[in-house]
Amino acid sequence: MMDRQIIRPVVCAEMLRANLTYYPEINLSAANNWIIMGNVGSGKSTLAKVMIYMISRFPNSKTFLCDAKYDDFRTLDGLTHYYPLDSYERGLSDFGVILENRLIGNDLNRSMCWIILEEWSAFLSSLPKSRRDAIMEKFIRYAMLSRSFNLHIMVILQRADARWFDSVRDNFSVIALSNLSREAAMMFGFDREAMRPVFGAGAGHMIINGNSGAQQEIVVPRVDMPQLDEAIKRYFMNQ
Ligand SMILES: Nc1ncnc2c1ncn2[C@@H]1O[C@H](COP(=O)(O)OP(=O)(O)O)[C@@H](O)[C@H]1O
Ligand SMILES: [Mg+2]
């Protein structure tokens, strides 16, 4: 596996205030699983699109996109690897097949592979408890095993609640758009004292692998949505 897989999806807010556009690097080999959280309209899906675009540039990368809302990603309708609404669980299973095959050695391929869980809490809330428990079990397994096989999870949700992550919170890096509650900040190891209030879509904080010393305020760059949607659609058509 490559030991450095760099993307640069956000800019440093502090430097932006000094009129400098600086894109800190994120090494996906070290920080393989991500949570994107924030209020409605805070720019989560947009950031996910920016990240998907950057993922699409890694050779032979695959992305399974589960989407409980079928709203921001409608342009992907009908494409393989896009799992809206009732097909959400099928996306999880298809990703699971790749994981299990790499695990038992049937698949020696280590190309980058993502599962994106859009509106994760909305999806889980919609399930009866028994199904939810079964899915959480899968999720925990994926989160624990993903890293060694160049597999990656991106969870997108409005409010972080411990039960949507269970024991595997520590396996995630976080970009929190909009302002966090004290509980949510604590849960992911943010140093709340060092967080400034943020305003507007795309503004928030990032913490990599729970390292609050490296926590930083970030901004998602303004994107041209139709262009970005088009690029992502092309990726899904070809992957
Ligand atoms: N980085 C951005 N560049 C351009 N527009 C943005 C950006 N972030 C958010 N927006 C605008 O805000 C709206 C809501 O953003 P969205 O990503 O859908 O938020 P969320 O998924 O958190 O509800 C988008 O439809 C878009 O119009
Ligand atoms: Mg959204």
pLDDT, tens digit (0-9, with 9 covering 90-100), for 142-199: 999 999 999 999 999 999 888 998 889 999 999 999 999 998 999 999 999 999 999 9
CA dihedral for 219, 220, 221, 224, sign (positive or negative): negative
Identify the weakest region by mean pLDDT among 40-49, 191-200, 218-227.
191-200
Q: Nearest CA to 181 among 161, 201, 167, 165?
A: 161
Q: How far apart are CA 178 and CA 98, in angstroms?
A: 34
What residues contact 104, with CB distance under 8 A and at least 6 apart? none
Q: Give the pLDDT score at 20.
A: 98
- Locate the ligand 1 atom nearest the alpha carbon of residue 71 and give its number: 18
Ligand 1 site, residue 46, Cβ cutoff 6 A: yes
Q: What is the distance in A from the centroid of ligand 1 to the CA of 162?
A: 26
Alpha carbon of residue 26 to chain centroid: 13
Q: Give the pLDDT score at 217.
A: 98
Q: Give the pLDDT score at 13.
A: 98
pLDDT, tens digit (0-9, with 9 covering 90-100), for 128-144: 999 999 999 999 999 99
Residue 212 clears pLDDT 90, i.e. is over it:
no
Ligand 1 site, residue 45, Cβ cutoff 6 A: yes
Q: Which residues surround ligand 2, an ion (CB under 5 A)?
A: 44-45
Q: What is the distance in A from the centroid of ligand 1 to the CA of 64?
A: 21
Ligand 1 site, residue 201, Cβ cutoff 6 A: yes
Distances (CA, A) of 183 to 26, 124, 187, 191: 26, 21, 6, 11
- Locate the ligand 1 atom nearest the alpha carbon of residue 158 and give its number: 22
- Residue among 35, 42, 46 to mutate when testing ligand 1 (max atoms within 8 A of CB): 46
Residue nearest to atom 17 of ligand 1 (CA): 43
Ligand 1 site, residue 163, Cβ cutoff 6 A: no
Q: Give the pLDDT score at 236.
A: 98
Q: Which amino acid is at 47?
A: L
What residues contact 174, with CB distance under 8 A and at least 6 apart? 34, 35, 36, 37, 188, 190, 206, 207
pTM of this prediction exceeds 0.85: yes
CA dihedral for 227, 174, 187, 94, sign (positive or negative): positive
Residue 54 clears pLDDT 60, i.e. is over it:
yes
Q: Which CATH number fits domain 6-238: 3.40.50.300, 3.20.20.480, 3.40.50.1010, 3.20.20.60?
A: 3.40.50.300
Residue 121 clears pLDDT 90, i.e. is over it:
yes
Ligand 1 site, residue 9, Cβ cutoff 6 A: no
Q: Nearest CA to 140 among 155, 123, 150?
A: 155
Q: How far apart are CA 138 and CA 226, in angstroms?
A: 34
Q: What is the distance in A from the centroid of ligand 1 to the CA of 158?
A: 14
Q: Give the pLDDT score at 160.
A: 84
Helix 225-238 / helix 44-55 crossing angle, nearest 10 deg? 50
Quick one: the chain helix, strand, coil %, rounded to 5?
A: 45, 20, 40
Residue nearest to atom 1 of ligand 1 (CA): 222
Interstrand relation of 113-118 and 62-67 (parallel, antiparallel or unpaired) = parallel
Interstrand relation of 11-12 and 216-219 (parallel, antiparallel or unpaired) = antiparallel
Q: Give the pLDDT score at 2.
A: 60
Q: What is the distance in A from the centroid of ligand 2 to the CA of 43?
A: 7
Q: Nearest 5°: CA angle at 36, between 35 and 42?
A: 165
